[in-house]
């Protein structure tokens, strides 16, 4: 069975995932203690079947990991209805398409400002893909620009806990980051309660039915998820686009969908059986875990013609990069808009953009991405 943490798999998981998909649609992974799905059909079923849910169990030792556990125990992504519905409702309006469209001119302006500061060669991650979504989600939540660097550092420390078998160093860093992130968010919430702002999401959350811990968890989730995926989707997708020798399609939204599909930023999403569920030849019993391997699903030749090639104008493109079903990504309209506008502005400024050497991997499987992508144009 595939070792998801092997260096060669992290470097390029897709040949190994294809080998597994040729052998079986679903298989037990002993080291991870769960089933893994390798096809689009079964991965989609895992994401959509309401008998499979997100069931949070505190990480152990629970007392030491309480700062990390607190943020996850109280967030919408780790709960099922009716709790999921109650936690999701207060934030859903902020990501509706109409509100996102009102942010489009600001994304265009911010992308232009970032590129104004660059020369002919730059790091597409550090100088562009990373600051743009971080600044946008911070602006959406009214976080001062001076605190943006801390948001990114806290987020990076926390998400490393999502990888299989985190080291003690990773655990320690995540506990510190979770505590500092929560303290920072509590200060934001307290400030809004003393001085409410108009059209401000944190003000609305602070006045909602959510408990203090739930408000803090929501703020951290939004600040974290609001930029983490966008950074990695842009970096992964840009590398795929440039390596293919392509340029954005006349309709850049098609290219963004291919960036999402071709090299998935989120590779694995876990569910727990709450009732018996038949998945292919496997009957899951209550309590058993299964993970949809989204990268494998998004390269399934049963759904995508020529799946290992980046096709800038691929249409249709029924990828699962944002998930599916109840836990479909709440921020997908904002992420898509940011990606379309940032890609468009980048290639308007740098029509001859090319890679300068090999990009530097972040060295993780579940959240796949690069720390550095050197380009010139």
Q: Report pLDDT digits (tens) over 197-236.
A: 887 888 888 888 899 999 999 988 888 877 788 899 999 9
- The residue range of the domain holding 284 is 7-376
How many angstroms separate the Cα of 53 from the Cα of each of 152, 286, 292, 322?
29, 11, 12, 16
pLDDT at 95 over 80: no
Query: Could you say which of 20, 130, 228, 258 is catalytic?
Result: 228
Query: Could you say which of 230, 291, 292, 312 is catalytic?
Result: 230
Secondary structure of residue 27 in the 3-state scheme: strand
Express each pLDDT in 276-306 by its tens digit. 999 999 999 999 999 999 999 999 999 999 9
In a domain, 13, yes or no: yes
**What is the DSSP code (8-state) at residue 215?**
H
In a domain, 1, yes or no: no
Express each pLDDT in 115-148 by its tens digit. 999 999 999 999 999 999 888 888 888 888 888 8
Mean pLDDT of 309-317: 98
Q: In which band, very low, low, confident or very high, does the pLDDT at 72 lie, cut at 50, 70 and 90?
A: very high
126 is an active site residue: no
pLDDT at 98: 66
296 is an active site residue: no
Burial per residue of 14-36, b for 16 or more beta-carbon CB atoms within 10 angstroms, e otherwise? bebbbebbeebbbbebeebebbb
CA distance 114 to 28: 46
**What is the DSSP code (8-state) at residue 285?**
P
Query: Could you say which of 329, 335, 341, 342 is catalytic?
Result: 329
Average pLDDT, the chain: 93
Q: In which band, very low, low, confident or very high, does the pLDDT at 33 lie, cut at 50, 70 and 90?
A: very high
Mean pLDDT of 316-323: 97
pLDDT at 97 over 70: no
The CATH number that applies at residue 204 is 1.10.630.10
Among 267, 218, 262, 220, CA closest to 238: 262
How many angstroms separate the Cα of 318 from the Cα of each of 225, 248, 298, 322?
22, 19, 8, 11
pLDDT at 220: 86
Q: Whole-prediction pTM value?
A: 0.93
Q: Which of 4-13, 141-150, 161-170, 323-332 has the lowest mean pLDDT?
A: 141-150
Task: Answer for the pair 227, 251: CB distance below 8 angstroms, yes or no.
Answer: no
228 is an active site residue: yes
In a domain, 236, yes or no: yes
173 is an active site residue: no
In a domain, 93, yes or no: yes
pLDDT at 256 over 70: yes
270 is an active site residue: no
pLDDT at 42: 98
Strands 34-37 and 289-293: parallel
Q: How many domains does the chain have?
A: 1
In a domain, 2, yes or no: no
In a domain, 286, yes or no: yes
């Amino acid at each position: 069975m595939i070792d998801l943490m092997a260096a060669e798999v992290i470097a390029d998981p897709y040949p190994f995932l294809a080998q597994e998909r040729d052998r079986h649609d679903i298989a037990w992974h002993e080291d991870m203690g769960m089933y893994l799905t390798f096809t689009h059909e079964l991965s989609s079923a895992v994401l959509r079947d309401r008998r499979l849910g997100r069931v949070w169990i505190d990480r152990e030792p629970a007392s030491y990991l309480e700062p990390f556990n607190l943020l996850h125990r109280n967030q919408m992504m780790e709960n099922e209805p009716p709790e999921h519905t109650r936690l999701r409702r207060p934030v859903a309006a902020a990501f509706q398409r109409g509100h996102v469209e009102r942010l489009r001119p600001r994304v265009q302006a911010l992308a232009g400002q970032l590129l104004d500061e660059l020369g002919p060669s730059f790091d597409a991650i550090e100088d562009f893909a990373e600051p743009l979504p971080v600044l946008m989600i911070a602006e959406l939540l009214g976080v001062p620009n001076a605190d943006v660097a801390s948001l990114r550092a806290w987020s990076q420390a926390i998400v490393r806990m999502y990888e299989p078998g985190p080291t003690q160093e990773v655990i320690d860093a995540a506990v510190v980051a979770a505590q500092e992130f929560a303290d920072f968010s509590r200060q934001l919430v307290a400030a809004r309660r003393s001085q409410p702002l108009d059209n401000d999401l944190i003000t609305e959350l602070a006045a909602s039915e959510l408990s203090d811990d739930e408000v803090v968890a929501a703020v951290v989730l939004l600040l974290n998820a609001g930029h983490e995926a966008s950074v990695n989707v842009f970096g992964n997708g840009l590398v795929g686009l440039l390596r293919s020798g392509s340029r954005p399609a006349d309709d850049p939204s098609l290219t963004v969908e291919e960036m999402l599909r071709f090299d998935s930023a989120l590779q694995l999403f876990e569910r727990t059986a709450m009732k018996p569920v038949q998945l292919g030849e496997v009957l899951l019993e209550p309590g058993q875990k299964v993970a949809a391997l989204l990268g494998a699903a998004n390269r399934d030749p049963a759904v995508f013609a020529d799946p290992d090639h980046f096709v800038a104008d691929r249409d249709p493109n029924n990828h699962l990069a944002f998930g599916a079903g109840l836990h479909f990504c709440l921020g997908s309209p904002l992420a898509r808009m940011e990606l379309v506008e940032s890609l468009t502005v980048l290639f308007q400024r740098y029509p001859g953009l090319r890679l300068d050497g090999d990009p530097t991997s972040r060295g993780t499987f579940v959240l796949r991405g690069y720390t550095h992508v050197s380009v010139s144009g």
